[in-house]
Structure 1
């Protein structure tokens, strides 16, 4: 069977699984098993058992459930409300007003959560009612929340970056370093958009509020100190080389428990709820990892990734043109899959051709995650759109239109990342002396 026919069969089987409503991880696993059974001479059971065990039992994976649990603990504290209350006095007089607190809250919480969904839900439950109370436009409140909520995929400790690093066997610490400036760049684009709205539009100028007194500023700073301390403890320990990502995850989890205890929200009920939520999320991620590992093995046996890489190489595309083609491919795929599933589904096929093109895999991980963020606000199955819909009560069409400017800003961010790769590579190269 030719590689084109094999790729066609793979796509048909994949869409059949996904269209049937099964879990994405189970769909990946099913496609991999069918490929091994039909197109190779390998024993299915032994291949599956060995591959799944080797890809889900590595010591590097220990950071993943710990960061997930940390986010679940923080989800049940008053940390998000404190972030909003701390930021509100600082941005009240700035053009765009409290919409900046919406973006800033998501940015700050992303640095201790690692999960886009946890970031959006935690911040959105606090900010949306406050913004509505002050008559901010729902379109901007929902749009900025949907867009800024995606930053949990990029800003460390990103669960998606951990998974990418494990799949392509790259340093998770370097990926964390590489994700900082691109994440802040996206947040800066969101801030600039709201600033210009507040400065240039009649509605935005009418929303300007009086400046907060100095006493309120100081109270706000005090409310921001806990999350600032946790960010420094978790991320700073990795960047300075004091702790590995696994050790930093332990520090973060203990810090989350300490904050919860200080806020008197650490009860047996919240402990059980956070642990249960972490188990559910981690189990879903591990199923995705297992399915992607089996599918990767099957495609490796078939020779499809290498054949595809040779085919693309024969087209003589420049690295920039290859990235633009992949961006369009990811945007289309993101209409049907979430960012994490999209990365796991495609990376086994793309890795050989990307390496052959001479593209840095650390940089490519940031690029893929950025495009994966765009998938979270791309209809018809953009996950963040449904989360914002559940929080706001608005229709999915309204939320998708509200998030469209954020999608455009992310597209600008992707072009900037391609044009200036040092946005991602400068910090890891500086801190590791490369």
Structure 2
């Protein structure tokens, strides 16, 4: 049982949490190792979401621990502005090895939300540098998630994350790609690519001269693993090229292995102009985010930067390229490569996908299952207009049985660590089947 006092519990306003319910029955995690957490009751809990899509290597990774310990003893902090340290340059080069070759300039942030904010700011600034300052609007997508900042919720398309906060940035939204007839698709659906053409309608309405960028997740994670239909991302790229609009991929979840490829852009064969990243860069050990840009975008700022001592881009964060985070990032990415973990995800993804789809018969309340790589979303019918109720019930039942899964909106979401064995997938699916059978 937790030793926390009620005053301590009450003092923390928790992120994306039902605080009232949690503080009546706290779920406290005390340790982690491999694919498992340990709670305050001493129970082992299988990590069915890799932390928060962050810990594909599992927890308590020796190589990352050692790199962090050595770095914090050597250089704990280095000023992020006007001075540098070696590991940020080493890490930026390492990151580009996981990206399309055109994305070769990396800017560091402290999180996925900061990465999105950076990408959108740079997009606007880029067009001003090009003499097209009217290009300020953004286009996101329904059910998209792009972090918790004002810019992120503006271009994001999950209603529960938007309605409370009022007016955001000037942005509009494409429809999502869940079309009738694609339910229970294992992998990429054959229908739905035509929804990319809705971008043409938005361009007609607002004119390309006013639109800075389109931002989408190659696969929408937080909305419940919405996989792109065949040809959809290619069509978005084509339309953006035709109308001189930047295409931004938010790969905070899909980067560095989750899709069974180095990143979503490579896995799906479409290169954006800008890519945001975070989470798996450091395996969740230390906060770190990044944004990769095409050479031409970087060169535009350098060419219009004024005298060499001037700032070409007046933007950044106190913790940009933090040396301890960079050390963790280098260790994380080197381990992904040395142990061929992305290839392992690709190899195991068929087994995982088939196992998840076997849940279809567990309950008539399951209305859809979607998956790609080591990610899956299961949609549950909403009772009396309460879409979040049944996923919450399932997740709490799973926790009691020793499994952590994510509940968000009307979905249960799964993203096991890359190191997960087939027997662990079987146990996870068996436990979920039992929980779904209990639904009323």
TM over 0.5: no
Q: TM-score, normalised by structure 1?
A: 0.28
Q: TM-score, normalised by structure 2?
A: 0.28
Structure with the larger RCO, 1 or 2 (CA within 8 Å, 6+ apart): 1
